[in-house]
Amino acid sequence: MRLKNKVAIITGAASGIGHATALKFAAEGARVVVCDVNREGVDRVVSEIVAQGAEAIGFIVDVTNKTQIGEMVAGVKRQFNRIDVLVNNAGIVADAQLYKMTDDQFDRVIDINLKGVYNCARAVVDTMIEQGGGVILNASSVVGLYGNFGQTNYAAAKFGVIGFVKTWAKELGKKGIRSNAVCPGFVATPILDSMPEKVIQAMEERVPMKRLAQPEEIANVYAFLASDDASYINGAAIEVTGGLSL
């Protein structure tokens, strides 16, 4: 078990990649802190983990709400007395071309996908410094490397979280804290449920492997980066795209 007894906070853990990551971390021996705005989803994922014989606790956390984040961090420290891993996975999309995008669309994506990452990292970093180590992992995207049509807000946020980890790697590496970003391509998550089948097929055709990623394939990368197997990986932005950008 690569993450045995490590305490891992995962935001956006009620569905999609976050859900898969929570289950993977639990299978690798972590004590998982399931965070999401969806109370029913949090309870469900915690129950799944406990049913597997692993340890998990859940919190309702809006990553734009510093009070909720602070209460969660305090609760985790009371329960486990440490925080080893933060996976900043929570995020949304609100797509539109620049000339159609509203201020609300832009602000909401930036608040959650960019500032929310800052909020959560800021809330745990003092604990990680005090204990002499930790891992911060940010969910970026292939869009955060190359941009994408109709995603001014999303691309800006996902570029930004790569900038975060490259900066934190320089600031915090000497304190035993590693920071990295994962950049998935097209992933088969509930966010695709509303898309027409022909659109999904077109996405698959763009990938050299001719298929979408499964959430578990992204979770596997997070688990590796959170583990001591990745002890010298710091400040990286790792593509998990099936070769999409080639």
Question: Is-above-0.95 flag for pTM?
Answer: yes
Triad 183, 187, 193: Cα angle to 5°: 140
pLDDT tens across the length of the chain (246 residues): 999 999 999 999 999 999 999 999 999 999 999 999 999 999 999 999 999 999 999 999 999 999 999 999 999 999 999 999 999 999 999 999 999 999 999 999 999 999 999 999 999 999 999 999 999 999 999 999 999 999 999 999 999 999 999 999 999 999 999 999 999 999 999 878 777 899 899 999 999 999 999 999 999 999 999 999 999 999 999 999 999 999
The residue behind tokens 């109709």 is 150
Annotated catalytic residue, options 99, 118, 146, 154 = 154
Say if CB 131 and CB 231 are below 8 A apart: no
* Integer CA distances (angstroms), 237 to 27, 51, 200, in order: 25, 34, 25
What's the pLDDT score for residue 196? 84
* CA 56 from centroid of its chain's CA atoms: 17
Question: Of 44, 22, 40, which Cα lies nearest the Cα of 31?
Answer: 22
Instruction: Spell out the residues 6+ positions from residue 86 whose beta carbon is closer than 8 angstroms to its own.
Output: 8, 9, 120, 121, 124, 134, 135, 136, 137
The residue behind tokens 């990938």 is 207
What's the pLDDT score for residue 64? 98
For this structure, is 118 an active site residue? no
DSSP state letters, 28-65: TT-EEEEEES-HHHHHHHHHHHHHTT-EEEEEE--TT-
Superfamily of domain 7-185+219-240: NAD(P)-binding Rossmann-like Domain (3.40.50.720)
Triad 59, 130, 24: Cα angle to 5°: 45
Secondary structure class of 178 (helix, strand, coil): strand
Angle of the 103-110 helix axis to the 152-172 helix axis, nearest 10: 30
Sign of CA dihedral 12, 18, 23, 28: negative
